[in-house]
Amino acid sequence: MTMNPILGDMDSMPSTSDAALALPACGGDSGAAAKFNIFWHAGKISQQCRQEKFGHRPATVWLTGLSGAGKSTIAYELEMLLLSQGHACYVLDGDNMRHRLNSDLGFSAQDRKENIRRAAEVARLMNEAGLIVLASFISPYRKDRSMASDIIGEERFIEVHVSTPVEVCESRDPKGLYAKARAGKIADFTGVTSPYEVPLSPALELDTGAMPAEHAAQALYHFLAQRFA
């Protein structure tokens, strides 16, 4: 079998007889499930089968950084690169999710945590369906990103820090949010009135102040190819 440009040698994967591959531990409350007599119903399509169908192993690329850092731009550029090579993928954008699924959440620390929990659960489901997920979320707190990794599964979670400096982000201010935060019109705005906790050991760091977002997406694409080869 040929070497996949993203995820390596398919011959090295387990045989279908071993394909009841262990999924990441469920991020939900198993105690609550038992209390209400809720049981997991396993499907008939193995992870191995999905990998062979899509030609890659599932993963979630978690892009974290300040507002205006270029996270979503990189994610959508990378989505085009992956799809052009036949890899099923989807972008989970923080703003887009707040339009529907997370429209009931604000920006308190607790709401931010719930925002990330829901996003991680969606990413997990998409990974189990075989997709590569490109998640673009400010996700300012380390503990929340750690929670996302636990839900998705450490072997599938790829943390990428879009480390564009706040000065650059604020000079762009594409949505006018920094100006509103400086004027006191937005509370709990990350980088101005709310903290951002820099990742301690991201898989990759990208600064769109030093390179165009398109080049950052290409660098991330090549990183993924090396990681999974």
Catalytic residue among 67, 136, 139, 194: 139
E-strand stretches of 28-117: 59-64, 89-93
Q: Which of 227, 217, 225, 228 is nearest to 80 (CA)?
A: 217
Measured distance CA(82)–CA(222) in Å, rounded: 11
What is the separation, in whole angstroms, between the first and last Cα of the chain? 13
Measured distance CA(108)–CA(114) in Å, rounded: 10
Q: Which of 47, 51, 74, 45 is nearest to 4 (CA)?
A: 51
Measured distance CA(2)–CA(11) in Å, rounded: 8
Place of tokens 């887009």: 96
Place of tokens 């750690």: 146
Please indicate whether residue 17 is annotated as part of the active site: no
Measured distance CA(122)–CA(2) in Å, rounded: 31
| Catalytic (active-site) positions | 139
